[in-house]
Amino acid sequence: MDFRGNREKLKGLLLECGLKEVGTSKAHTPSYLPAGIVSLANREGIHKTSRGYAGQKYSFEVHLIEDATDKNGKPIDTDAKLVDLLYTVDTAIQDRLFTEIDKVEFYDSLLNGKQVRIGKFEIEI
């Protein structure tokens, strides 16, 4: 399967896990939260032959974005919500893609002037 098929499979899985919107570019600004961004990280050739590689493996960088404020705009602790979302996503990835998330980076950011908490991981499929 080419990277487009793998990316669409990953996007569909994230939407089934409760994300309201999933984009495919880091320049994409989600309108609804929680949201995700799936972008191509790298490609690796597999099964080297005398005429090149017989196939490729693709790695995708996934950003899970969660709102860090309540309805009044006051900061809230989103770590629990983000970890619950990651657990749901990781379980689905293990069940359907037969791999798992090994490392997640967490950081704060701004999205259209709104505070958000982001979990970033890389997955190879």
DSSP category for residue 122:
E
Q: What is the C-alpha to C-alpha distance for residues 13 and 30, in angstroms, rounded to an integer?
A: 17
Q: 3.40.50, 3.30.70, 1.20.5, 1.10.3470: which CATH number matches 3-124?
A: 3.30.70
SS3 content of the chain, % helix, strand, coil (to 5): 25, 45, 30
Query: Residue 37 forms beta bridges with which residues?
Result: 23, 63
The candidate with the shortest Cα–Cα distance to 123, out of 91, 85, 97, is 97
Residue 60 in tokens: 């995708």
111 pLDDT tier (thresholds 50, 70, 90): confident
Please report where in the chains the tokens 């379980």 appear, as a residue: 91
Instruction: Record the pTM.
Output: 0.83
Q: Is 92 helix (H, G, I), strand (E, B) or coil?
A: helix
User: What pLDDT is stored for residue 36 in this prediction?
Assistant: 93
Residue 24 in tokens: 């495919």
pLDDT tens-digit profile of 32-58?
Answer: 888 999 998 887 777 777 777 767 788
For residue 14, the surrounding DSSP H or E stretch is helix 3-16
Q: Is 80 helix (H, G, I), strand (E, B) or coil?
A: helix
User: Strand 35-49 relative to strand 21-23: parallel, antiparallel, unpaired?
Assistant: parallel
